[in-house]
Amino acid sequence: MNIVRIVLVALMVFMVGLLAVLALTGVNVVRQDEPQWAETLEHLQQNAVDKSRQSATYLSYARCAAQEHRSDAEHLFRAMSAAECIHAKNMQRALERLGGRFCRSDNGTDLEMVHGADSVFSTRENLLRSLRREDTLSLKVYPAAIDRAVAEDARYAARVLLWIAGTDMKHARMIQFCLDSPDVSCDSVCYWVCPTCGNTFTLRIRERYCPFCMTHSVRFLSF
């Protein structure tokens, strides 16, 4: 657990430093037909659709948790669903700022989709599946994507990807807590989500400003 905390703190310090550099060096001006952004554009396209689908999946997991009277998991899945939707829209925005054009998936999935098929698994299984996903994304997929975006000088995209990686890492820790403490009930508001970047907070650790994007906490969404 200590190693996890050290890794989390190190990532946060790295993110704050990189965000500061990005802020000081300014935001990308939108330019058309920049081939050096090809890989970042492709990543944004694919993962915006994936995030939108995952938002719907988490909503189905929340309904399953409600049926099992797991209010703690229900609140968490609803908060993560909202965060995934915000992430998807931020990725679409980043893609368009690079001159790309977001394409909906073949089956018509778009970023407004909020209804997923009901989960056929138990809440514990849904938590475990979610934990594997969030860990993989935050520890493997997004660090590589951030490096690529920085290398391609796609600074706004790098900033958005940093927000997502940091949030997904926090989601993993919240899921782990739900798995470790299944008897903790949550009858009212349990989580807050920043509407700008999707950063997610527990009720115990709600900061005055979002440390990722500096949005004031009065604007946070409650779950």
**Does residue 202 touch Zn ion according to CB under 5 A?**
no
Closer to Zn ion by CB, 64 or 165: give it: 165
DSSP state of 36: G
Q: Count Cβ atoms below 10 Å from residue 87 Cβ, excluding itself.
A: 26
Closer to Zn ion by CB, 56 or 193: give it: 193
At its nearest, how many Å lie between Zn ion and the CB of residue 167?
Answer: 9
Owner of token pair 């138990």: 122
Looking at residues 65 to 84 of the shown chain, list those that interact with Zn ion (rule: CB under 5 A).
Answer: none
Exactly one of 71, 176, 196, 222 binds Zn ion (CB under 5 A); that residue is: 196
The one-letter amino acid code at 47 reads N
Closer to Zn ion by CB, 64 or 161: give it: 161
Q: Which is nearest to 32 in space by CA: 134, 100, 78?
A: 100
At its nearest, how many Å lie between Zn ion and the CB of residue 65?
Answer: 25
Torsion angles phi and psi, residue 69, rounded to 5: 60, 35
d(CA 162, CA 142): 8
**Does residue 194 touch Zn ion according to CB under 5 A?**
yes
At its nearest, how many Å lie between Zn ion and the CB of residue 7?
Answer: 21
**Does residue 141 touch Zn ion according to CB under 5 A?**
no
Q: Which is nearest to 196 in space by CA: 212, 185, 181?
A: 212
Exactly one of 199, 200, 201, 220 binds Zn ion (CB under 5 A); that residue is: 199
Q: Is residue 14 a contact partner of residue 138, using CB atoms and an 8 Å limit?
A: no
**Does residue 213 touch Zn ion according to CB under 5 A?**
yes
**Does residue 212 touch Zn ion according to CB under 5 A?**
yes
Q: Is residue 98 a contact partner of residue 154, using CB atoms and an 8 Å limit?
A: yes
| Contact region with Zn ion (CB under 5 A), list: 84-92, 124-132, 144-152, 190-198 | 190-198
Length of the chain: 223
Please give the radius of gyration of the chain, using alpha carbons only, rounded to the nearest integer. 17
Exactly one of 113, 210, 220, 223 binds Zn ion (CB under 5 A); that residue is: 210
At its nearest, how many Å lie between Zn ion and the CB of residue 118?
Answer: 31
| 108-125 exposure pattern, b = at least 16 Cβ within 10 A, e = fewer | ebebebeebeebeeebee
At its nearest, how many Å lie between Zn ion and the CB of residue 111?
Answer: 18
At its nearest, how many Å lie between Zn ion and the CB of residue 43?
Answer: 21
Closer to Zn ion by CB, 196 or 202: give it: 196
Site residues (vs Zn ion, CB under 5 A): 194, 196-197, 199, 210, 212-213, 215
